[in-house]
Amino acid sequence: MSQIILVALGVLVIIGINFLKGGLYRYEKAIPYYEVLWTGLPTLILCSVAVPRMCLLYSHEQEGASSLTLKCIGHQWY
């Protein structure tokens, strides 16, 4: 978690320094690169976490019958 915060803070500092040096308008051609990086990197991180978890969840679903059975009964009060 702290690594993600450090990366975000680093990007913020770099953009702030570029803005103080003369604005970001001279980098108009490079801004789509920043946008793709800013949205693509978190997407890749989330996918890299989600795919193994979904495989693990799917493998647990396919296992045989368990030795424990739990019966839950709910009553509506209205």
Specify the pLDDT at position 7: 87
**Assigned domain for 70 exists:** no
Nearest-angstrom CA–CA distance, 78 and 74: 12
**Assigned domain for 71 exists:** no
Does residue 59 sit in helix, strand or coil? helix
Does residue 28 sit in helix, strand or coil? coil
Percent of the chain topping pLDDT 70:
79
Specify the pTM.
Answer: 0.41
Average pLDDT over residues 38-54: 88
Yes or no: say if 25 and 34 are a contact pair by the CB < 8 Å rule.
no
**Assigned domain for 57 exists:** no
Nearest-angstrom CA–CA distance, 15 and 19: 6
**Assigned domain for 34 exists:** yes
Q: Which domain holds residue 37?
A: 2-51
| Whether residue 27 has pLDDT greater than 60 | no
